[in-house]
Amino acid sequence: MSGRPLDVLEAALEETVTVHLKDGEMYTGVLTGYDQHMNLVVEDDEDTTVIRGDNVVTIKP
């Protein structure tokens, strides 16, 4: 696997991830989608959250 950001996101699809945002908030759930701007769709047991890519600091498995 290459280390290009979109390739890393593709490999993480349907996996549980933790997303850290610039404001210190964290979201944990299954990565169900993303786009070329690294906007993310993260789903947990109760909610679906769309996160703008420019707010993301890190994404960890």
**Over 90: is that where the pLDDT of 2 sits?**
no
**Residue 16: C-alpha distances to residues 27, 28, 45, 51 (Å):** 10, 7, 12, 15
Domain positions in the chain are 5-60
Which pLDDT score, from 0 to 100, does residue 1 have? Answer: 47
Q: Residues 12-43: pLDDT tens digits? A: 999 999 999 999 999 999 999 999 999 999 99
**Residue 3: C-alpha distances to residues 34, 44, 50 (Å):** 16, 26, 23
CATH of 5-60, one of 3.40.50.970, 2.30.30.100, 3.40.50.300, 2.40.370.10: 2.30.30.100
